[in-house]
């Protein structure tokens, strides 16, 4: 099989997509796309005679039945500039290869994350790790911003003084705050990237990392559009139900009404419709 390229992905290679006040995401390189997934699933050495429509059916089948290995055949490499506190959340996803800018070797830039006033919120009383939705007064927003800027400037001034006194960079950096920007190269396969995005695009994820995840979603759509469509349909916008919840649903379904013809208006056809009807039968059994 020839090297897989996607014109829409090629258009954005090395292009910076801005995130937050000074960050970005950049697709540096990618290997494979939708064709690579279906090729791996078919264990084929060439394109064969399969059509795009058949590829889409197979991709959706793989996603629907959690056959994840073929999606690991696609890889994406990103260059990301992000605040250190976002990086520390991000690095918990241990299924990628990462190489980060080192403050031991490099002089860190005077660049800090400063939130826009609208994202400054109070602590949520329901969610111990999140923000409330209530609006914060403009006066308090400005107070917070002034305090953050003052501390950032003071910390960086100290850092520069230590460097000017020829103190080792690895020591001079230690008081720099989490709001400082760092950079890294981050390479990951498509399956694990989609899992990362499932968690970090969720409304409960921290706002700042969600901005990066949503930008990366647009990049993935260009590299593997059919795989991403299947992921959205079956995983990101799908739901899991417990046994008790399924029983509630089953008790309120009119099975006589749901036919293959009826399902067509919801774009459920062929094998997908057959499998859905089989699920319904299991609910009633």
Active site residues: 200
Residue 234 burial (C-beta neighbours within 10 Å; 0-12, 13-18, 19+): middle
H or E element: which one contains 84? helix 84-90
3-class SS at 212? helix
User: Quick one: tokens of 189?
Assistant: 């396969």
Q: Are 25 and 213 in contact (CB under 8 A)?
A: no
Q: Strand 97-100 relative to strand 181-189: parallel, antiparallel, unpaired?
A: antiparallel
Q: Are 263 and 52 in contact (CB under 8 A)?
A: no
Burial 247-275 (b: 16+ CB within 10 A, else e): eeeeeeeeeeeeeeeebeeeebeeebbee
Residue 68 burial (C-beta neighbours within 10 Å; 0-12, 13-18, 19+): middle
How much helix, strand and coil, in percent to the nearest 5, is found in the chain?
Answer: 50, 15, 35
Place of tokens 């901005």: 211
Q: Radius of gyration (Cα) for the chain, nearest Å?
A: 24
3-class SS at 78? strand
d(CA 29, CA 8): 13
d(CA 113, CA 84): 9
């Amino acid at each position: 099989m020839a090297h897989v390229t996607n014109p829409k992905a090629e258009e954005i290679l090395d292009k910076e997509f801005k995130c937050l006040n000074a960050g970005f995401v950049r697709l540096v390189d990618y290997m494979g796309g939708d064709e690579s997934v279906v090729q791996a699933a078919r264990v084929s050495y060439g394109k064969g005679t399969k059509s795009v429509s058949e590829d889409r059916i197979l991709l959706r089948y793989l996603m629907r039945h959690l056959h994840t290995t073929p999606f690991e055949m696609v890889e994406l490499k990103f260059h990301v500039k992000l605040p250190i506190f976002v990086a520390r959340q991000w690095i918990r996803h241990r299924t990628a290869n990462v190489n980060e800018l080192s403050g031991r070797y490099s002089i860190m830039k005077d660049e800090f994350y400063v939130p826009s006033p609208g994202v400054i919120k109070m602590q949520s009383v329901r969610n111990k790790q999140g923000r409330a939705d209530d609006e914060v007064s403009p006066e308090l927003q400005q107070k917070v911003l002034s305090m953050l800027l003052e501390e950032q400037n003071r910390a960086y001034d100290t850092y520069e003084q230590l460097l000017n006194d020829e103190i080792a960079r690895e020591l001079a950096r230690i008081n720099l705050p989490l709001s400082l920007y760092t950079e890294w190269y981050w390479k990951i396969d498509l399956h694990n990237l989609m899992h990362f995005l499932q968690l970090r695009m969720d409304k409960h994820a921290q706002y700042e990392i969600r901005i990066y995840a949503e930008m990366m979603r647009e990049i993935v759509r260009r590299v593997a559009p059919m795989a991403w469509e299947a992921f959205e349909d079956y995983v990101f916008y799908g739901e899991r139900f417990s046994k008790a919840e399924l029983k509630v649903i089953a008790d309120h379904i009119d099975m006589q009404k749901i036919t293959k013809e009826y399902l067509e208006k919801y774009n459920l056809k062929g094998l997908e419709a057959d499998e859905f009807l089989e699920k319904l039968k299991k609910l009633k059994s």
